[in-house]
Amino acid sequence: MSNRIYDPITPRQVAFLGLGVMGYPMAGHLARAGHQVTVYNRTEAKSVAWCEEYTRPTGQTSMLNHAQTPRLAAQNSDIIFCCVGNDDDLRSVVLGPDGAFSGMKPGAVLVDHTTASANIARELHAQAGALQLHFVDAPVSGGQAGAQNGALTVMCGGDREAFDKVHAVAMAFSKAFTYLGASGSGQLAKMVNQICIAGLVQGLAEAIAFGDKAGLDMNLVLDVIGKGAAQSWQLDNRGKTMVADQFDFGFAVDWMRKDLGLVLDEARRNGARLPVAALVDQFYADVQQMGGRRWDTSSLIKRLK
C-alpha cells in the first residue's frame, strides 16, 4: 500500500463489492481516507481478512464491516463501488433479491469499476433509474500497481449528477476520475485504451525480438529510443522486463483476452475496423496455448523467441 496523503473530505458511508487484486486495495484506500466501509466478497474469508488488515494500521474511528450479501453491504450506503470479473459477475452482485440494487436507498449511486460491455452498463443504468437509483460505469486503467498506489485512471459514463456525487470520494484511489458522457461511455473509452495497449505491446515485442536477432544490447537501445519518439509507458515499464524474460506481474493475458473480446464484439456492432487488435488477440491466444494464461501481457514476445 502506498503512503499517499488523502485530501480531507467529509467521511461517507460506502460499500465495496469484490475484493480481487484491484478491489482489495481500492477499498483499502477508501478506509484510509476515513470513510465507513462495508465490503462484500464471494469468498467471505477475504472480507474478514480485509477488515482485519485495514482496522489495525489506520487507528481511525471509522467502522469497517463485511456483509454476507451485496444487498446487505449496500444498505445505508451513499455510494456502492463494485469491481468484479465480467458481465455475468456484475449481474450477480447487482440484480436479484440479494443484489445491491435491492438494498440501496433512493438516490444512492453504484459505481462499477468492472471492465464490462457497454451494453450491460446501459442496461443497469436504465434499471437503476427505474428504481430511483444511479449507476455509473467507471472502468479503470493502471493495473494492480495503480490500485495499490491509489493512482488509477478512471473513465466514467452515466449521469453527470451521479458522477459529481462520487467524484471526491473516488479520488481516494484515483489520479484521474473523468466524466466522458452518457451511460456506456466509460466502457467504450476503456476499449479504446485496450486497443492502444494491444498494438503498442506487439510493436515493442517485435522491436525487441528484431534487436536481439541483430545482436544489439537491447537494454542500451531501449534507454536511447526511450528518449525519443518511440517512448511509451509500455517501453518504460515493460521493455527491460521483456528483455529479461520476466512476466510475473501486471495485467494477465487471460484478462486482456477478455477485454479484447469485448472490443471486437463492440466493433462488430458499430462497424469499426480493427485488424491489428484482432490479430493481437490471436497472438494472445497463442500465448495461452504456451501456458501463459496468467503471464503479464508483455509476454507477447514469447511467441517471437
**Residue 241 belongs to domain with CATH number:** 1.10.1040.10
208 in the same domain as 90: no
CB of 267 closer than 8 Å to CB of 191? no
**Of 140, 162, 182, which marks where a domain is finished?**
182
151 in the same domain as 67: yes
Kindly report, residue by residue over 232-250, the tens digit of the pLDDT.
999 999 999 999 999 998 8
Contacting residues for 45 by C-beta, under 8 A, at least 6 apart: none
Query: Grid coordinates standing for 199?
Result: 498494438
260 in the same domain as 165: no
Range of the domain at 127: 13-182
Which residues are tagged catalytic? 190
139 in the same domain as 28: yes
The vertex-87 CA angle with 83 and 89, nearest 5°, equals: 60
Domain count within the chain: 2
Cα–chain center distance at 138: 8
At residue 61, the pLDDT reads: 45
Kindly report, residue by residue over 146-193, the tens digit of the pLDDT.
999 999 999 999 999 999 999 999 999 999 999 999 999 999 999 999
288 in the same domain as 140: no
Kindly report, residue by residue over 38-57, the tens digit of the pLDDT.
999 999 999 999 999 998 65
